[in-house]
Structure 1
Amino acid sequence: GVSAVLWIGTIIWAFFAANTTGMPEGSVVGRSGIVDERAFYALNTGHKHPILAEDYLDYPRMRAMVETIARTPEGGLLLPSASYDSWFVVPPPGPLEEPAEHVVFFLNLGMTSMNVGLDVRVLDQMGLAYPLAAHTERLEDGRIGHDKNLYPDWVVADTGMIDVRPWLPFFLDEDWVADAKLAITCPETQELLTSYRSELTWARFKQNFQQAFDFAKYRFDRVPAYELERCGLVTPEPPK
Structure 2
Amino acid sequence: MSWLIALHAIVLREALRFTRQRGRFIAALVRPLVWLIVFAAGFRAALGLSITPPYETYITYDIYIVPGLCGMIVLFNGMQSSLSLVYDREMGSMRLLLTSPLPRWWLLVCRLIASTVISALQVYTFLGIAAVYGITFPPLGYVAVLPALLIAGLMLGALGLALSSTISQLENFAGVMNFVIFPMFFLSSALYPLWKMAESSELLHDICAVNPFTHAVEMIRFALYAQANLPALGWTLLAGVILLALALWGYDPARGLLRRKG
Q: TM-score, normalised by structure 2?
A: 0.30
Structure in which a larger fraction of residues adopt helix: 2
Higher strand share: 1
Higher relative contact order (CA 8 A, sep 6+): 2
